[in-house]
Structure 1
Amino acid sequence: MLRIHTFDGHNRMSTQDLLQAIHDAMTDGETEFYIEASGQHDIGGPLWQPEGKPLKFTVKNPGQRVGSMCLEGTEIIVEGSAPADVGWLNAGGKIVVRGDGGDTTAHCAASGTIYIGGRAGTRSGSLMKHDPLYEPPEFWVLKNCGSFSYEFMSGGIAVVCGYDSEQFDSVLGERSCVGMVGGTLYFRGKARGISLKDVKIMPLDEQDIDYLNRKMDDFLVSIERTELRATISNWREWQKVVPLTYEERPKKANTNITAFRCEQWPAGGIFADVCNDDGKVVGLVTTGLYRQRVPVWDNARYAAPCEFNCTAGIPSQQRFNLLREGKIEEAYKLVLEYTPFSGSVCGAVCPNLCMDECTRGKIDLSVQIGQLGNYSVDAVLERPAVLTGKTVGVVGGGAAGLTAAWHLARLGHSVTVFEADQKMGGKMEQVIPRSRLPQQTLAKELKRIEDMGVTFRSGVKVDRDLFAQIRDEYDAVVIASGAHTGRVIPWAGHERLIKGIDFLKAVNRGEKPAVGKRVIVIGCGNSGMDVAVGAYQMGAEAVTCIDVQQPAAYAREIAHVKELGATLLWPVFTKEITAEGVITQSGQLIKGDTVIITIGEAPDLSFLPEGVNLERGCLKPDEHYRVGPGIFTAGDTIRPGRLVDAIGAARRTAMEVDAYLTGKTYEREEKEKVPATKLSTAYFKKCHACDLPAAKEDYLRCVSCGTCRDCHMCFKSCPENAISRVSLPDGGFQYVSDPDKCIGCGICAGVCPCGIWTMYSNSEPILIYNV
């Protein structure tokens, strides 16, 4: 048993600290407590023991709400009296007060037992109720109760023994049982002022006596008054109170409201100046025109968090929905509507921002969207059946240029991509280590782009003359030449630096660039981590990566280089590059034979004509991605960033180019992220790492945020059967709500796990109004 004394000298323990101490002790396995309280509230509930062991509390001098919301398996014994709200909302515990109980004792009790060894205060037993799935609550009082006792009682059993209460006109106080509609009240002694318009007083029958006999001993033992058994067990002194049945209750005269309004109310009514009274009576619950709210099936109105966070806008929850419906090939093809690099980027090098925001990640683990991209590597889309006759030249065969070419070719345009390197792919081919991006995957996806009808012209460096020729020969041009010029800060000795992008390109070309035994990498972004890995591959024995700030690389890339033996240091401010290494602003020497800098790249735009709008060395397009008449841009030429950023921008650029070529207007779809409060994640079971399914089967865990998963919960839950599922001619479906049945209760919106249903204020005009 744990004893807790709530006074230490002149210092009193707060209620919060006492409850925390109880919780901590229970966590350590304690189940029995003796508490010398000093008015602390809420002692004893709601608490439960993880192993199902019973809890016991012995309490002196408690504050209000002792045993509040007490649960089954908890026993509370109060030595002496207790103030207001003893056993408030009791949900199964046994509460014994060996003295008096204050006002509202057993208020709202729904289960369990409450024994009072003295008197109970005003409104005791009020609002007691009974859930038929559980045993009814029981409330026993040795002496008497204060006024308004058992007010609005709707269930349970109350017993007032009337001991030592002969001096009172009523052992139930004044105006007892007002509004009582359920339960049974047994009492011994005088009882005046009972609300006889709500209840009736009856003698006990055999079942009543049997109940009282069976429970009396437990009551008296619990309050330690067994000597009173004979005194209060003369059943002829007892009576019971039960509520009147509906048939027994007095009835008001039936008034026909419609007749009253039409025949007796003044013509036109008192509001005739603003409305024409249609004579209809609108109840509290109504359908159709007079509903306060109407439900709308907002399927796909909102973007799921994964889609919203993906800069390419890939609706992964739609892929999982298609897999759920068994449309496997369609699911794998869906991602190609947004990117041709589902495997190279989504499945290999993307940081998977989609997974960072996945709702499922807040339950257990994010759904495996990145791995899902690899299932689309072999997916094929058909060439367009009709060509537009329009031509587009794309300068740059990297992620942005090839993405733009892919989408434009699918729209029926003839596209040619000009790439200075001997191979297509840009940084995916030239810079990213093969260990991160398998060449076989990239080769398949490049062939898919070529099979769509895109013409590749590699080994062609575009200069000003060639660009002018391309501009003349093609109906539109997309500049996506990327950023391939490594940035260098002009420190003393900067001529000793090796540019990280040049180093990585040499590694990927198989040239095996020479490095010293000790390599220093300036810059701890993802490129810096790639350089560190490449340095080890080229024979470095030690690599030190430095930065002026905390490394910005992805956690998995940092972990990988640390596993290889690299050291990351920050903040480090470089002052000079020497043959011995890097000298910092503080004068420290970081030793190194080779220093490689990876602080970003800039685009080379020297091939563009004069007058093109530039800002800080990058192109500055308008809102349609144009930098000139018929000239568009995308990717790192605007602002160096991630591959997925370039892919998303290139798709939008392609749509703008198509609009320019066809004379249409491209309307961007900007979706709002589905509010987290609309999602009912409790519907989904937790899944631990050892139970993860394959990525293609992860639709079993996907929450399907913002898109209907066709779970039928809404129409099965609708209390008015107002919702129906309608099959559409294209094989799809929708759920509709019948306004003649719907009462606007909002259960559909509350129960939908995916946040599809939304309740809107009813804006349908009521035509009786003159305004």
Structure 2
Amino acid sequence: MFKINTIDGNKRMSTQDLLESVNAALAQGETEFHIEAAGQHDIGGPLWHPEGKPLKFIVRNAGQRVGSMCLPGTEIIVEGSASADVGWLNAGGRIIVKGDGGDTTAHCAAAGSIYVGGRAGTRSGSLMKHDPLYEAPEFWVLKNVGSFAFEFMGGGIAVVCGYDSDQFASVLGDRACTGMVGGIVYFRGRAQGISAKDTKILTLNADDISYLDGKMDDFLTAIGRQEIRSQLTVWSEWQKVVPLSYDERPKRANTNLNAFRTGTWVPGSIFGDVCDDDFAVIGAIATGVYRRRVPVWENAKYSAPCEFNCTASIPSQQRFNLLRDGKIDEAYRLVLEYTPFPGSVCGSVCPNLCMDDCTRKAVDISAQIGKLGSYSAEADLARAEVKTGKQVAVIGGGAAGLTAAWQLARLGHEVTVFEADAKAGGKMEQVIPRTRLPQATLAREIARIEKMGVAIKTGVAVDQKKFSSIKASYDAVIVTTGAHITKVISWPGHERLVKGLDFLKAINRGERPGIGKKVIVIGCGNSGMDVAVGAYSLGAEQVTCIDVQRPAAFAHELAHVQALGGEILWPVFTKEVTAEGIITQDGQLIKGDTVIISIGETPDLGFLPADFAFDRGCLQPAPDYSVGAGIFIAGDTIRPGRLVDAIGAGRQAALAANAYLGNSSYTAVQKTKISPDRMSTAYFKKCHSCDVPEANNDYNRCISCGTCRDCHMCLKSCPENAITRIPGQAGAEYMSDPNKCIGCGICAGICPCGVWSMDTNGEPIQFYR
């Protein structure tokens, strides 16, 4: 809490020094201020906390303009009365004056609320206004206001309660509401002198009473007068002032303004020496160049959360849009432009990061994106019609290598994959349990890659000599050998450890590695959980999984192991491996006949030149995935990770190699996630989990974030019929006619997908010379 007394003996602190002290405290993170003022101005003005925390001011003896230009998140409580201009240009703050407010209280207020627990002075509430993009300003006065109140009021809500004001002929003072064109003034008690040419007085309707009744408690609590509520809520004593509509206002005789300006006024206008005045009269609602804002159709400018989170950048919202349009085959083929493994990875083993941040979760649950991949397992793309004549070698037939080969073959290059194992597929084939990744699905998808024209040579181990030969024989080389060396820590007895990767590979080959009844698994990642499940499948009676940190495996993988009877322990620090099991750093023995380590792997890159940029056993590529002229890398050779990471990197490496082969440079596209504020989830009906359809029928739940779903809502909602839908083979486009558009923003506000934006009109006005 920041407290300050602005009087020190007979010395008074200046306004500038006080405001600088407040700003300094605010910069240090202070949020609550108690100020014993001595008439200083502008206390609680346009301030905001560096972390966005709410601010509170308690002030005594404030000078003019307390709460001037006050921002949202700021509350100001004035103990006693205040001087002139309380809440001048209030932009969203909550200002409470427990005594009287001076002249021009709430003058030009545009947002927020101002409560006065006494009387308010002359011209209070004048020029109040309301920007429809924000909540309307509110101005409540317990007693009465002075003359000329609410003159030229353009918007907002004012409430004058008329308490303790029977001695006045008018609780609104003299000549109230002159020039009023917007807003509402509620008042209780007598009033006279209200401008009849601008306004009319009406009795309250049900909505008025609901508003006043709903806000009265907040007002009276704020000023500390809850005991008079019953006295102020006799609604028959209340009335309201509203502005006359255009048709209700008295009309003047028509004047030819253009003739006046060009003939009667200064010829050429008073600014004729600096500008060319066309004497056009610009109305309050303008089209074309005079609009303040213009709509922009930004289809697919931003990535949907699913696309942004997917490291393979699969635009799932586009797949759902195609399904919605009945283009089923096209939807299933779309994913093949990003990955050749929609069934093996997306539909089987991927953690489906796409679903973690799905906008649909704000309504009920994520769209069923992951399972959608399984429908593309048997889809096909046509082979490249034009061949480039370029030959590319891919060393490593795992997820990254086969993805790179797939993409390069689609681009017309001749691609050969060199794989050391007897079968292609990398860890998908060799390590991941068949129960998680069906072998038939993987075989179909590898066959699809070969059908695209990729030659896969298995059983080819690449050493330095072989690498030199490949490099000399091919126009480009992509290295994706994967991480197949199990990390082992040299604890005493580490020679007893069974390597987790070797263990899983043996199981996938159909072998039955010998294990004891009690198995310890060091490492609680997803691979560790696969090892634990494999141990149970081989007859283990008890599996204990340990880790030095919180287990990194997915929740469902941990739950599966625990359901089998497995125990998950952390943090556990290994000191020694013995014939009896693990001895921990704190001297405890965890019994086990077999200890399997699964704490990660590193790639074997010994076949590469030693002058490459190595870091902790991996390679560090340039931004275009290259490590040398015509040599590119992807997957675990850069950093061991998930299969979807390898797929994304394989695609990027292929695009980089393609650019190299075409004598051009490559820069990866940077994704920008669409802001959730752009979407309108209110248009989507909530459903229960039991009502969620199958993935290929879930297109109506998909919000299609950032990508037009062709719903016609903007077209049908535009009040000026300014929007046109243009059909096209690649999908419909929408355009706004500047000669009809008034920049109202309804299209952007109603678009469920966040495709329309309202930008400041930057078109130059040819006026000045």
Q: What TM-score do the two structures reach when normalised by structure 2?
A: 0.72
| Residue 746 in structure 1 maps to residue 724 in structure 2 | no
Provide closer, same or farther for how the CA distance between residues 337 and 247 of structure 1 changes in structure 2, counting only shifts above 3 A.
closer
- Amino acid of the structure 2 residue aligned with 1:756: V
2:453 aligned partner: 453
Q: Tell me the distance in 2 between the aligned counterparts of 1:734 and 1:451.
A: 36
How far the C-alpha of 1:180 sits from its partner, in A, is: 8.6
Partner of 1:3: none
The code of the aligned residue for 2:402 comes to: L
Go from structure 1 to structure 2 and tell me whether the alpha carbon gap of 1:672 and 1:273 turns closer, same or farther (over 3 Å shift): farther
Paired position in structure 2 for 1:364: 364
List per-residue Cα deviations over 1:227-266 (Å, max 9, x = no partner). Answer: xxxxx9xxxxxxx999989778544454433233322443
Q: 2:468: which partner in 1?
A: 468
Greater Cα shift, 343-352 or 459-468: 459-468
Which secondary structure state, in structure 1, belongs to the residue aligned with residue 749 of structure 2?
helix
Alignment of 1:48-63 (within 5 A): none
CA shift, 1:146, in A, is 8.5
- Quick check: 2:360–2:702 contact (8 Å CA) kept in 1? yes
1:293 is displaced (CA, Å) by 1.3
Structure 2 letter corresponding to 1:403: T
Q: Deviations over 1:544-584 (max 9, x none)?
A: 11111101111111111111111111111111111111111
TM-fit CA distance, 1:184 = 14
Aligned to 2:545: 545
- The residue type paired with residue 737 of structure 1 is S
Cα distance change on mapping 1:253 and 1:540 into 2, 3 Å: same
Tell me how far 1:394 sits from its aligned partner: 1.2
Separation in 2, partners of 1:337, 1:711: 26
1:288 aligns with 288
Gaps (5+ residues) in structure 1? Answer: 1-119, 128-143, 203-221, 225-231, 233-239
Instruction: Say whether 1:503 aligns with 2:490.
Output: no
Aligned counterpart, 1:259: 259
Given the alignment of the two structures, is residue 603 of structure 1 paired with residue 600 of structure 2, yes or no? no
TM superposition shift of 1:535: 0.8
Report deviation, 1:645. 0.5
How far did 1:611 drift? 2.5
Q: Deviations over 1:390-431 (max 9, x none)?
A: 111111111011111111111111111111111111000100
Asked if structure 1 preserves the Cα contact closer than 8 Å seen for 2:269 and 2:277, the reply is yes
Shift of 1:174: 5.2
Whole-Å separation in 2 of the counterparts to 1:503 and 1:401: 24
1:34-433 → structure 2 map (5 Å cutoff): 175=175, 193=193, 195-197=195-197, 249-252=249-252, 254-272=254-272, 274-433=274-433
Say if 2:262 and 2:269, in contact at 8 Å, map to a contact too.
no
Offset of residue 479 of structure 1: 1.0
User: CA offsets, 1:622-644, max 9 Å, x none?
Assistant: 22222222221111011111110
3-state SS of paired residue (2:294): strand
Residue 756 of structure 1 aligns with which residue?
755
**Structure 2 residue aligned with 1:662:** 662
Matching residue's letter, 1:642: R
Aligned partner of 1:632 in structure 2 is 632
CA contact (8 A) 1:547 1:571 kept: yes
Q: How many residue pairs are counted as aligned between the two chains?
A: 607
Q: How much does 1:516 deviate? A: 1.0
Aligned positions of 1:11-26 closer than 5 A: none
Q: Structure 1 residues 180, 276: closer, same or farther in 2, change over 3 A?
A: closer
The answer to whether structure 1 residue 735 and structure 2 residue 738 are counterparts is no
Using a 3 Å threshold, how does the CA distance of structure 1 residues 446 and 193 change in structure 2: closer, same or farther? Answer: closer
In the alignment, what sits opposite 2:678? Answer: 678
Output the amino acid matched with 2:670: E
Letter of the structure 1 residue corresponding to residue 751 of structure 2: C
Unaligned runs of 5+ in 2: 1-118, 127-142, 203-228
Aligned to 2:565: 565
Provide the rounded CA distance (Å) in 1 between the counterparts of 2:544 and 2:497: 15
- Structure 2 distance, partners of 1:731, 1:423, is 39
Match of 1:700 in 2: 700
CA distance in 2: counterparts of 1:561 and 1:189, whole angstroms: 75
Residue 719 (structure 1) shift: 1.3
Larger Rg: 1
Deviations 1:155-206 (A, max 9, x none): xxx9x9xxx98x9767997557867999999x9999864545457999xxxx
Match of 1:22?
A: none
2: distance between equivalents of 1:571 and 1:451? 49
**1:108-153 deviation per Cα after TM superposition (whole angstroms, max 9, x unaligned):** xxxxxxxxxxxx9999xx99xxxxxxxxxxxxxxxx9988899899
Residue of structure 1 equivalent to 2:24: none
SS at match of 1:329: helix
CA contact (8 A) 1:122 1:149 kept: no
Q: Deviations over 1:492-546 (max 9, x none)?
A: 1111111111111111111111111111111111111111111111111111111
RMSD over aligned Cα atoms? 4.1
The whole-number CA distance in structure 2 between the counterparts of 1:610 and 1:182 is 77
Instruction: Name the residue aligned to 1:94.
Output: none
* AA of the residue aligned to 1:435: T
**1:612 Cα deviation (Å)?**
2.7
SS of match in other structure, 2:724: strand
| 1:2-40: CA deviation from partner (whole Å, max 9, x where unpaired) | xxxxxxxxxxxxxxxxxxxxxxxxxxxxxxxxxxxxxxx
Alignment CA distance shift 1:290-1:540 (3 Å): same
Q: 1:147 touches 1:175 (CA, 8 Å); kept in 2?
A: no
Distance 2:720 2:319 in 1: 33
The residue that corresponds to 1:690 in the other structure is 690
Q: TM-score, normalised by structure 1?
A: 0.71
Residue 349 of structure 1 and its aligned partner are, at CA, apart by 0.6
What is the alpha-carbon distance in structure 2 between the residues aligned to residue 662 and residue 194 of structure 1? Answer: 79
Q: Which whole-Å deviations, capped at 9, do the CAs of 1:616-672 have from their partners, x for residues lacking one?
A: 211222222222222211110111111100100000111111122222343532231
Contact (CA 8 Å) 1:121, 1:146: kept in 2 or not? yes
- Mapped partners of 2:199, 2:746: distance in 1: 35
The CA deviation at 1:347 is: 0.5
Q: Secondary structure at the match of 1:286?
A: coil
Percent identity, please.
66
Establish whether residue 515 from structure 1 lines up as the match of residue 515 from structure 2.
Answer: yes
* CA deviation vs aligned residue, 1:18-70 (integer Å, no higher than 9, x gap): xxxxxxxxxxxxxxxxxxxxxxxxxxxxxxxxxxxxxxxxxxxxxxxxxxxxx
Cross-structure match for 1:34:
none
**Does the CA-based 8 Å contact 2:397-2:419 persist in structure 1?**
yes
